[in-house]
Structure 1
Amino acid sequence: MNLQPDAQIQTVRRETPQYLRTQSLQSSFATNEYFSDYASDAASQKSDDTQASYETPPSRISTPLIQQTQVDSEMTLPTRPGIVPPAALNTRHQPNEGQSTVRMVSNCNEMSPPTPEIDDTPYLRFAIEQLTRDEDVLGRGRHSTATAEGNTPVLPPSEPESPENFQTPTPSPPPPSPPRQPRNPRPQSQIQRKPVREEVMIPVDLSKDLRSRLGFVPIPLRLSMLALYLMLCLLMIGALLFSLIFASGNHGLYDYDGNATPRYFVFQYLPQLLGIILIIWLFVIEAAVYRSLPYFCMLSSGRNHSVLQDMRILPANYLLPDLTFFRTGERLLGVTFVVFWLTSLTVPLLSCLYETQWITDDGPARFRWTTVRGVGWTLVALYIILCAGIVHCMVRFRRRNSNLLWDPCSLADLICLFRRSNICADFEQTEVSPEPNRQVLPRTTRLGFWTTTERPDVFHAVGEEYAPIKRFSFPPQPMAKPSSDGLLHPNDTVDVEAQQRHSYGSAFSRNIHSPFVRYRWAPWYLRDSAVLAWIIAAILLLIAFLVVSFVNRAVQHGFAPLLTSLTDSAGFSPADFLYSFLPSFLGMVLFLAWQPIAMYFRAVQPFCNLSQPTGTDARHSLLLAYPAQGPIGVMVRSLRNRDYRVSYISFISILALSIPVLAGGVFTAQFFSAENEVRMVASMPGYIALCVLAAIYTLSYLVIWPTRKRYLPHNINTIASLMSWLYASPLLADGALQNVSSRAELVERLTGSSVQSATLTGDPAVEEGEKSRPSRRQRRTNQGAGTRYAFGVYVGRDGKEHLGIDRLQRPGSREMMVVPSSR
């Protein structure tokens, strides 16, 4: 019950201390709001002390008001046996109108105090029941400090008064109760809420103008770039065919002139170097396929129900083939990626493509470089099926199959695609789930232009056709603060921490505040025990490699091949093949094993920057797109952004590609006439460079130990896993990201600088004079330059706490709480 500031309720018993009862600030639902409609009418009526009735206001959510009799009403006080009922709560009747109104009690002295020697337990239970009834109906516990409406007045506790102020009334016989007359019900317009119509998303039939805006294809998947890559593969096939045909008809290609000459470099290092360049380019194509395929599957004709939670957006086709495409219904693309994985074998095969052969039937006897026929035709077959895979990508990722406006490669792009989506509610409480992909229900989604049944505007988003937009329960509202008179007014607002706490006792709330949940996940190969194992194994292998290589000059003086070194008519030598293919294959394993590490550090760097206590700006968080860039571009961009660890790891990924190149061509079989034997001898310039690179690669494992800022609650390999940290974020309702038509405009709005955004989009830089005179649009967006974002506990659009990404601080609220790490 909501009483006036001077109203107090006290209980006095004989020879016992007094009890003080003050109203609870938790229950602010039974307030003057119920009595205010009747106070004005009750002031003009006469007092009638002959009727006794006790009524309390109903719960605020029970509408409309239903009149009940005193016997049936659950709001009636229990009757004391043998005691005359006290005076009524100023209930007045007007006989001339036959209607009754209720006046708000202005002072507790108007109410009859309790009688001594009488058990007050029923009254106390009744009062407690009424004070907690509204919270029980709404499902709130007593621990909650937030109210349903921020403008509800809350009164300060009453000061105790002396017992002399209370007098025991004289009992009198109960007067006869007059017949109850019907009340004047409250107007329906004041107690009934206007029903909210369901808003449904409707796909828009694409006109010529809308169709021209769609159809974006990432640059690596565009027809011109894939055609260029296909042409390089065809040139590689042509070079292989020329080597095979020319060598078979001319007793080899060129004479052997030593193991440290330019001709040696051409035959032993250049083929696998060209092959590794094609593989690096293929990695860029694969990355574009991974991040674009889910959106290409969201066409109106698509029927894939697991796009969001099953399709990966981060590359994984490195050391082991990625077979997830078969599970998601993309069987042809799955076969294509198996072919892409088999392409990694071309580098070891290219390292043993050319061998030396002893020629005696063509002039003087001598060693000549020749082509190994079996290896050559195997490479031709691999490159032919690689071309077939590239052709399939050209057909699959055509412009007409795309409903994208730009390349979705960052968190900001994801926000723009889902800011008006009707499937955000499907990600409820997935931010703390260890496997959010399994928690999200299958749903047929579509990417394109939409409108709704309630709004005529057209927008671009991901959603479900003809499904309602699920609104959150209520938007966050500021709590009221007490003014100078001790009361709370709706116009006075303050950031109250109690508003941003919801169900602290629930498991979900404990999880979002738990450092264990916040820093729970990392890939298995980057957990502490795994990294320690990699470091120990790499150092031991490096020491063994150096010892075997340089003790007694074993490599420099040569060693027995243990296999026959004779080259047959097809150019195949078992010894040369083994000591070319095996070292290059091991080097390729080292190169491929580093790629998932580099990709993880690229993908997790935005979250690492967001996990700083002071947050970071949009350029270093929401707009970072390291996984969408090549290794050289990542190295340069991360150096500019001062992400030094990402830059170094990307540098090692480039440096590691030289290991299979050098390892495959460093050994050759040579005949020593003095000893009359054949030995495997290493080219010392290449071997020394290989040892240096192997040492750098090994010591680089000391750098990959991720700190707690690079740990996350769960994986980040799908759209659903990323949306679990954004579905309730106020960023989805941020006006700065409304109606964005291009990535250049997105960068401009988030950073407040169109000059810097031009470097991301390839637009020409503006003149120096124009930089000093920002346009009206620039001045409007410059306010976003100082905005900082963080990853932590924030208050979502539903007024509840969530774990994810939001602005570090919003006007009128406290800063986000970045969950502290254990180290």
Structure 2
Amino acid sequence: MNLVPDTHIQTVKSLTPQYIRSHSLKSSVASNEYFSDYASETASQKSDDTKASYETPPSRISTPPVQQQLIDSEMTLPSRAGATQPAPLNTRYEASQTMRMLSSFDEMSPPTPGVDDTPYIRFAIEQLTRDEDVLGQGRYSTASPVDDPLSPILPLARPVSVDSRQTPTPSPPPPTPPQQPPPQPIRQIQRKPVPQEVMVPVDLSKDLRSQLGFVPTPLRLPILALFMFLCLSIIAGLIFSLVFISTNHALFDYDGNSTPRYFVFQYLPQLLGIILLLWLFVIEAAAYRCLPYFCMNSRKRNPWVLQNMRILPANYLLPDFSFFRTGEQMLGVAFLIFWLSNFTVPLLSCLYQTQWITNDGPARFRWTTVQGVGWTLVALYGLLCLAILYCIVRFRRRNSNLMWDPRSIADLVCLFRRSNGGSGFEQSEIAPDPGQQLPPKTCRLGFWTTSERPAVFHGVGVEYAPIKRLSMQQTRATEKPSGLRLHPNDTVDTEAQQRHSYGSVFSRNIHSPYVRYRWTVWFLRDSAVLAWIIAAFILVIAFLVVSFVNHAVQDGFSPLLPSLTRAGGFSPANFLYSFIPALLGMILFLAWQPIAMYFRAVQPFCNLSQPSGADARHSLLLSYPARGPISVTFLALRNHDYKVAYISFIALLSLSIPVLAGGVFTAEFFTTQNEVRIVASMPGYIALCVLVTIYALSYLVIWPTRKRYLPHNINTIAALLSWLYASPLLGDSALQNVTTKGELIERLTRSSSSPATLTGDGAKDEKRGQAFRPVRRVGGHVPRFAFGIFVGRDGLEHLGIDRLQRPGSREMLVVPPSR
């Protein structure tokens, strides 16, 4: 310790901190250097960038000096004889910020006018340094930089001799930081982490609750109640027919196979049954697309709602058991009953048969009701009423947090544009099944706010999970090396980046035509379609040959079974030639429904895959799967989607096949041959032959071609989100704060007032738009969207849906299917 007996304070001014020599018991380190360390510590504690904290290590143990008599003053306090272990002195180190050394005590704070602060400062320094000197834990000027861990941070000043007081001595440059840290204990300070922005659910007030509770029209209480009323009416009619014949010897007399009475008993029952079945298909479609969102509201949420729950109907030719795998057992039972309702049409076709009556006047044929078939239909329609009743309870308004019907891609964008459930979708756009790589997420649909922003918004999210925002300004550490970075501030060589990007597996896959046109449903692959065409032609030719060669149908044929009607109204021959043709017709009808549904669902992507893209009405807002079989045909014609219109028309026309096939045959007694023969009603049979021929030829149209192929399926929400998770559409300002479906349509179809076109070539844009779809342009240009390769919100290339071109960016790469 360098103590110089002196009666006054001498401050040495230089470019570096120097020692203050005074006749006191303070250490040599109690100088400007020490105080500047303390000021640096105080400032660094207030900084958010502080990384670590160090404790000043002991240098040597020194003998406590002999206490000397101090000058009494009002600031002088009695000194302690001994000192205990002092609190460690923490000095914070900040590499990016250099603290200025104070050259005098006056630079500590603004001086107080008329008051000398020197005694206060001197007393504070003495109290701070006395304990360290007693225990030998002060810093000494003789400590080498290598031994002192603080030397790389705050270099110590060189000792100044007595002769050098008049001339300041420049200090040497700071020593080079050592390569290896000294083996001294370093205590790390635990920083409080920066809070992440998380999504917080909002408790529904009366105002917010009034905005929710939307239920699609087919699932609303009045509509389902009306459907159930029709089912109950059919049950009442069946019971009346079954009871009436027991006391009145059948219903009506038989008057031939080409009369109105024949139409009432042989065609009208299955016609009413299949119309009710079409209505049931609409109810099923609404339940499929809305069930995932209803599951996001219940207390017991399904973590696999995005991956495993279908949004497209599949309960046609084969029953759909997926509800049992997703935890909706009761709804699975209801849909199994819906599938069993397909048998009501063949059963209705054989409900009424003719019977030879001899105990009620003259002997004659009369129409009667088959007891076994009638009671079976009563049971099926009773089960159907119970299934509809469960749907009323399951899809009631209080279980819905929807604001409108999620029918299209645009609705999906609005629901997930601010969602925090986007993690796990990386590179899922080219996965064969995106649901397999997506982790389970317990999603919730409703109103949200965030921990950092007070605004309230509606959408899908995960409660109290962090929000992962994709941004063009992401650091390189978070960017995946598998894409092409196109950020303008990126200083990395573009050509090298492109070589690295296009050499990656992901980039090669999104540019690969094999991946882009990889998927279609199994029954529409080339080999399957070819097999359907061959089978359809062979069957229809055989059907026509058997029907008209030697007038087999017109003259009648032997039933090969007993045709006598028994007491319960059952005739084996009549049942066989009514139920089996109607069942075959139902198979043809049900087999066409998945084909029609596929073309309806992929038509938006077909329009988006055009080189010129498509406007929102013909792409993002298309909702063919959610429409009824009649309305979708007219809407597709208006949109010039002729293939969808034709296939939907065949789906509607094919319902007449089971209706005609179930009632065209009947058993008649020919007195000339004295035998019973099966004959057909020729007007109905000719119409049946025409419809079957049209149906068979329609298989030539279902070839999907490449423009309706996709990278993977579109059956779930996760499959659709894989093409949207990185799209700038989710951050588009035009879709902010959308509260109604009408407002969404208006924003997406609103013309831009900017005179600039999408590509910069107005004539070319107009020509391409007219060649694809006539769009009415008023006061600007309608935005166009496409399905192709775009630059995502993370600055990388992705495959999916976005605007065809955005201001300041290149146009999307849309590979024409013909290539």
TM beyond 0.5:
yes
Q: CA deviation at 1:819?
A: 2.9
Shift of 1:195: 8.8
Alignment partners' CA distance in 1, 2:793 and 2:556: 72
Using the TM superposition, name which of 294-303 and 377-386 deviates more: 294-303
- Identify the match of residue 352 of structure 1 among 339, 350, 353: 350
Judge conservation of contact 1:730–1:797 (CA < 8 Å) in 2.
yes
Q: Could you tell me which residue of structure 1 aligns to residue 481 of structure 2? A: none
Task: Tell me: CA distance 1:793–1:299, structure 2 relative to 1, closer, same or farther (3 Å).
Answer: same
CA spacing shift, 1:304–1:293, aligned 2, 3 Å: same
Q: What SS does structure 1 have at the residue aligned with 2:614?
A: coil
Indicate if the aligned counterparts of 2:353 and 2:369 stay in contact, CA closer than 8 A. yes
Deviation at 1:503, TM superposition (A): 2.2
Match of 2:659 in 1: 661
User: Does the CA-based 8 Å contact 2:610-2:816 persist in structure 1?
Assistant: no
Equivalent of 1:806 in 771, 786, 802 = 802
1:788 to 784, 790, 800: 784
1:247 positional shift:
1.5
| Residue number among 515, 518, 521 corresponding to 1:517 in the alignment | 515
Give the whole-Å Cα distance in 2 for the aligned partners of 1:302 and 1:581: 44
CA 1:606–1:552: 2 relative to 1, 3 Å: same
Return the letter of the residue paired with 1:664: G
CA contact (8 A) 1:501 1:801 kept: no
How far did residue 283 of structure 1 move?
Answer: 0.1
Q: Deviations over 1:707-742 (max 9, x none)?
A: 111000000000000000000000000001000001
Q: Check if 1:285 corresponds to 2:283.
A: yes
**Compared CA separation, residues 799 and 310, structure 1 to 2 (3 A):** same
Q: 1:749 aligns with which of 747, 752, 756?
A: 747
1: CA distance, partners of 2:679 / 2:398: 57
Displacement of 1:578 = 0.1
Alignment match of 2:414 (pick from 408, 416, 441): 416
C-alpha displacement at 1:820, in angstroms? 3.8
Shift of 1:299: 1.2
1:818 aligns to what SS in structure 2? coil
The equivalent residue for 2:390 is 392
In 2, Cα distance between equivalents of 1:447 and 1:276: 36
1:728 to 726, 729, 741: 726
For 1:741 and 1:302, locate their aligned partners in 2 and report how far apart those are by CA, in whole Å.
Answer: 27
Aligned partners of 1:276 and 1:657 also within 8 Å: yes
- The answer for the alignment partner of 1:548 in structure 2 is 546
Contact 2:751–2:779 under 8 Å retained in 1: no
Match of 2:18 in 1: none
Pairwise mapping of residues 43-82 of structure 1 onto structure 2 (< 5 A)?
A: none
Q: For the structure 1 residues 616 and 561, does the alpha-carbon distance in structure 2 shift closer, same or farther, using more than 3 Å as the test?
A: same
**Residues 502 and 801, structure 1, Cα contact 8 Å, conserved in 2:** no
Q: Whole-Å Cα distance in 2 between the matches of residues 642 and 526 of structure 1?
A: 23
Q: Deviations over 1:109-141 (max 9, x none)?
A: xxxxxxxxxxxxxxxxxxxxxxxxxxxxxxxxx
What does 1:95-110 align with in structure 2 at a 5 Å threshold?
none
Contact 2:298 2:399 in 1 (8 A): no
Secondary structure, aligned partner of 1:634: helix
The residue aligned with 1:228 is 226
**Match of 2:382, as an amino acid?**
I
User: C-alpha offsets along residues 259-292 of structure 1, whole Å, 9 cap, x if unaligned?
Assistant: 0000000000000000000000000000000000
Once the two structures are TM-superposed, the CA of residue 818 in structure 1 deviates from its matched residue by: 1.1
Question: Following TM superposition, by how much is the alpha carbon of 1:474 offset from its aligned partner in structure 2, in angstroms?
Answer: 3.2
Match for 2:262: what amino acid? Y
Deviation at 1:424, TM superposition (A): 1.2
Distance 1:410 1:491 in 2: 36
3-state secondary structure, aligned to 2:459: strand
Of 435-444 and 594-603, deviating more is: 435-444
> What is the match of residue 589 of structure 2?
591
2:432 is matched with which residue? 434
What SS does the aligned partner of 1:257 have?
Answer: coil
Letter in 2 for 1:181: P
User: Contact (CA 8 Å) 2:610, 2:814: kept in 1 or not?
Assistant: yes
Q: Write the deviation string for residues 606-625 of structure 1: whole angstroms up to 9, x where unpaired.
A: 00000001101000000000
The residue aligned with 2:714 is 716
Q: How far apart are 1:301 and its partner, in Å?
A: 1.5
| CA displacement 1:363-420 (0-9 Å, x = unmatched) | 0000000000000000000000000000000000010000000000100000000000
TM-aligned CA deviation for residue 200 of structure 1: 0.4
* Mean CA deviation greater in 426-435 or 276-285: 426-435
Deviations 1:287-329 (A, max 9, x none): 0000000000001613211000000000000000000000000
Matching residue of 2:675: 677
- Once the two structures are TM-superposed, the CA of residue 814 in structure 1 deviates from its matched residue by 1.1
Alignment partner, residue 817 of structure 2 = 821
Paired position in structure 1 for 2:768: none
Q: What is the CA distance between 1:588 and its match in structure 2?
A: 0.1
Q: Take 2:513 and 2:211, find their aligned partners in 1: how far apart are those partners? A: 44
Q: Counterpart of 1:569 in 2: which secondary structure?
A: coil
1:769-788 mapped onto 2 (5 Å cutoff): 786-788=782-784
Counting aligned pairs with the same residue, the percent is: 74
Aligned to 1:256: 254
RMSD, matched Cα: 2.8
Deviations 1:5-54 (A, max 9, x none): xxxxxxxxxxxxxxxxxxxxxxxxxxxxxxxxxxxxxxxxxxxxxxxxxx
Q: CA deviation at 1:812?
A: 1.1
**SS in structure 2 opposite 1:609?**
helix
Q: Residues 652 and 502 of structure 1: is their aligned pair in 2 closer, same or farther, counting only changes over 3 Å? A: farther
Give the corresponding residue for 1:54: none
Partner of 1:51: none
| Amino acid paired to 1:301 | R
Superposed displacement of residue 785, structure 1: 5.4
Give 1:302's match in structure 2, choosing from 300, 303, 309.
300
Name the structure 1 match of 2:93: none
Deviations 1:599-656 (A, max 9, x none): 0000000000000011010000000000000011100110010000000000000100
1:336 aligns to 2:334 (yes or no): yes
Q: Distance in 2 between matches of 1:490 and 1:721?
A: 31
- C-alpha contact (below 8 Å) 1:750/1:784 kept by paired residues: no
Query: Once the two structures are superposed, what CA deviation does each residue of 1:474-510 show, in whole Å capped at 9, x if it has no partner?
Result: 3499xxxxxxxxxxx98999xx999888722111111
The residue matched to 1:370 in structure 2 has which SS? strand
The 1:497/1:273 distance shift into structure 2, 3 A limit, reads farther
CA distance in structure 1 between the aligned counterparts of 2:391 and 2:599, rounded to whole angstroms? 27
Q: Residue 783 and residue 226 in structure 1: after superposition, are their counterparts in 2 closer, same or farther (change >3 A)? A: farther
Checking the alignment, whether the CA contact within 8 Å between 1:500 and 1:800 is kept in structure 2 is no
Q: For 2:448, what is the secondary structure of its paired residue?
A: strand
The residue identity in structure 1 corresponding to 2:465 is A
How far residue 425 of structure 1 moved from its aligned partner, in angstroms, is: 2.2
Aligned twin of 2:632 = 634
What is the match of residue 327 of structure 1? 325
Counterpart-to-counterpart distance in 1, 2:444 and 2:780: 31
What is the 5 A alignment of 1:145-164?
none
Q: Is the 8 A contact 2:751 2:782 kept in 1?
A: no
Query: Aligned partners of 2:320, 2:466: CA distance in 1, in Å?
Result: 36
Please name the residue that 1:181 is paired with.
174
**Distance (Å, rounded) in 1 between the aligned partners of 2:621 and 2:716:** 18
1:572 alignment partner in structure 2: 570
Cα deviation, residue 442, structure 1: 0.6
Of structures 1 and 2, the larger Rg is shown by 2
Name segments (4+ residues, structure 1) moved above 6 Å: 63-66, 489-493, 496-502, 781-784
The amino acid that maps onto 1:635 is T
- The amino acid across from 1:618 in the alignment is A
Superposed displacement of residue 182, structure 1: 4.9
Contact 2:241/2:369 (<8 A) preserved:
yes
C-alpha contact (below 8 Å) 1:475/1:797 kept by paired residues: no
Look up the SS of the partner of 1:288 in the other structure: helix
Q: Deviations over 1:740-792 (max 9, x none)?
A: 001000000001289xxxxxxxxxxxxxxxxxxxxxxxxxx988851110000
1:454-480 C-alpha deviation (Å, 9 max, x unpaired): 100000010000000012253499xxx
SS, match of residue 427 in structure 1: coil
In structure 2, which of residues 736, 739, 746 is the aligned counterpart of residue 738 of structure 1? 736
When the two structures are superposed, what TM-score results if normalisation uses the length of structure 2?
0.71
Whether the 8 Å CA contact 1:271–1:350 is kept in 2: the answer is yes
